[in-house]
Amino acid sequence: MSSFPVRTFAVASLIVAILAAAGCGDRRRSVGGGGASPEGPVVKESVFDVEGMTCGHCEQAIQSTVGAIEGVETVEASHTEKKTVVRYDAARVKPEAITAAIEKLGYTARLRSGS
């Protein structure tokens, strides 16, 4: 009567653990051994120089793709200024992930030095 499905729970936990381990292969242990920053998100604004945008559709493509990255807050792409300004949580997103996402769309992206 009281056969609580302990085994099922254990298997489910194992699967969750495996998925979690697979999903953060490049996560580095932070100083002090803690997980997330106790101060919360580290919001950063960076400017990326983007070559190849020709119109508003290009801006839209970049905005929706980069905006879908978890940890990205806002994206402002401008084809006239050949740049994209991104506000993101630096604790969760690396600028390289943003340039990679833009380049996957067929543009050339580079983090502007000093930003």
**Residue numbers at the binding site for Cu ion (CB under 5 A):** 54-55, 57-58
3-state secondary structure of 99: helix
Q: Give whichever of 77 and 93 is closer to Cu ion, judged by the CB atom.
A: 77
Cα separation, 66 vs 93, in Å, equals: 11
Of the candidates 94, 84, 91, 79, the one whose C-alpha atom is nearest the C-alpha of residue 41 is: 91
Q: Give whichever of 61 and 97 is closer to Cu ion, judged by the CB atom.
A: 61
Q: Give whichever of 54 and 113 is closer to Cu ion, judged by the CB atom.
A: 54
Backbone φ and ψ for 49, nearest 5 degrees, come out as -85, 120
> In angstroms, what is the minimal distance from the CB of 79 to Cu ion?
7
> In angstroms, what is the minimal distance from the CB of 54 to Cu ion?
4
> In angstroms, what is the minimal distance from the CB of 76 to Cu ion?
16
Of the candidates 56, 69, 73, the one whose C-alpha atom is nearest the C-alpha of residue 98 is: 69
